[in-house]
Copies of this chain bind each other. A is one copy, B any other.
Amino acid sequence: MRFKVSYSITGTQKEARKKAFDICVEQTIEFPYELVKDKYVKNNIVGRIESLTRKGPSLFEAVISYDTSTAGKEFTQLLNVVFGNTSIKPGIRVEKVTLPTAMLAGFGGPRFGVSGIKKLTGVYNRPLLCSAIKPMGTSAEGLADMAYKFALGGIDLIKDDHGLANQAFSPFSRRVDLVSAAVRKANRQTGGKCLYAPNITADSEAEIIRRAKSAKKASAGGLVISPGLAGFNSMRLIAADKSIRLPLLMHPALLGSFTASKDSGFSHYFLYGQLARLCGADISIFPNFGGRFSFSKQECKSISEGCRVKMGGLKNILPGPGGGITVDRVAELKKFYGNDVIFLIGGGLVAAGPDISDNVRSIKKALL
């Protein structure tokens, strides 16, 4: 059984063919091909060029297949075969992966996905709305007050800003207790189902799991994690843990370098779509086009596609565009993303008017 990786490769056809063969060797045996004596290693372990297609004047797509045994059923090793050493070579980019259904099943994927999030929030007919409690430096009481106002306005999901960890000004436990209680109180008043997702990114997987469980106990409704900071595995572990069972929001902190170069790293489609799902994210947060970051419209579109492309039995997930979204862009963005999306509006929701709850209400109207 083999899995496939599509790489973009820059250069002339001759250079691209050479680079493609180098990938086959570098990603597996990392050893002079001509010195390999074992036929099994030569024929099965070394990657295989399945196709090489011209995509532009000096751009090619190489599809390379690898024996699934090279990944040894480990996610870290799968990533290693996909791009480990080749990440250090110029002009090669991972565009997408095609994994056999059996292999995908081994990685589990998102526990909730689009359908699960819709069921939890009760929202079926419009994009979802999320905001973040911040700024960093605010006390747990201050953040709880902000969350209360968001929830009172009927927001669907409230997340910790990804910069809220376990700092002295708002320790994790105290924050989670107070914010959860504030959101519960607002939900009782509105009859709503607003979910609160604390940030569990931490220094070790043991601590991440501990925080996830304590958040669950405090009746949190989701969890935020930054795999760029804590490792891709850590998100996968939380998604797979049956005692946790909370929707996961993947935050892109420190992931920017993977898409910083047009002809290197990961495609947006792979990183924020396919890889997010492989790691068990239910919501993939990324910087929206036209905001204060630099993703293009086309890149954001490709993320949406990666969030819902058929990947064996893995659930589709919600793209979560954010970063500088303002109230007046909601209609345009709804048209662009459709209803299977969750908009993250942070500063824009606070800046829109003096009453945060009113601001939420008017955006929710615009979403319908």
Q: Is the CB of B29 within 8 A of A135?
A: yes
21 A-B interface contacts by CB (under 8 A): A26-B292, A28-B137, A29-B135, A29-B136, A29-B163, A32-B347, A45-B136, A74-B202, A77-B163, A77-B229, A81-B163, A85-B252, A86-B256, A88-B252, A88-B255, A89-B256, A90-B294, A205-B205, A205-B233, A257-B258, A260-B265
The answer to the question of A254 belonging to the interface, with a C-beta cut-off of 8 Å to chain B, is yes
The answer to the question of A339 belonging to the interface, with a C-beta cut-off of 8 Å to chain B, is no
Which of the candidate stretches A35-43, A56-64, A114-122, A360-368 sits at the interface with the other chain?
Answer: A35-43
Interface digits, A131-171 against B, CB 8 Å rule (1 contact, 0 not)?
A: 01011111000100000000000000000011101111100
Chain B's nearest CB lies how many Å from the CB of A145?
A: 13
B residues in contact with A259, CB < 8 Å: 88
Identical copies of this chain, number: 2
Interface digits, A77-108 against B, CB 8 Å rule (1 contact, 0 not)?
A: 10111011111111000000000000000000
B residues in contact with A359, CB < 8 Å: none
The answer to the question of A192 belonging to the interface, with a C-beta cut-off of 8 Å to chain B, is no
B residues in contact with A72, CB < 8 Å: 165-168
Per the bound structure, the CA–CA distance linking A254 and B80 in Å amounts to: 7
Chain B's nearest CB lies how many Å from the CB of A354?
A: 11
Q: Is the CB of B76 within 8 A of A165?
A: yes
Q: Is the CB of A44 within 8 A of B137?
A: yes
Q: Is the CB of A76 within 8 A of B229?
A: yes
Per the bound structure, the CA–CA distance linking A266 and B166 in Å amounts to: 26
Chain B's nearest CB lies how many Å from the CB of A173?
A: 13
Known pairs A31-B134, A87-B228, A203-B233; list 17 more (Cβ under 8 Å).
A29-B136, A29-B163, A30-B135, A35-B347, A38-B138, A41-B135, A45-B136, A76-B201, A76-B202, A77-B165, A77-B201, A80-B253, A87-B257, A89-B292, A257-B257, A257-B266, A260-B264
Q: Is the CB of A138 within 8 A of B230?
A: no
State which size class the interface on A falls in. 35 or more
Other-chain contact of A31, B135, B169, B203 (Cβ < 8 Å): B135
Indicate whether A84 sits within 8 Å of B253 (C-beta atoms), given known contacts A38-B138, A264-B261, A351-B35. Answer: yes
The answer to the question of A124 belonging to the interface, with a C-beta cut-off of 8 Å to chain B, is no
Per the bound structure, the CA–CA distance linking A70 and B163 in Å amounts to: 8
B residues in contact with A135, CB < 8 Å: 28-31, 36, 41, 45
The answer to the question of A355 belonging to the interface, with a C-beta cut-off of 8 Å to chain B, is no
Q: Is the CB of B38 within 8 A of A137?
A: yes
Indicate whether A167 sits within 8 Å of B70 (C-beta atoms), given known contacts A83-B254, A89-B293. Answer: yes
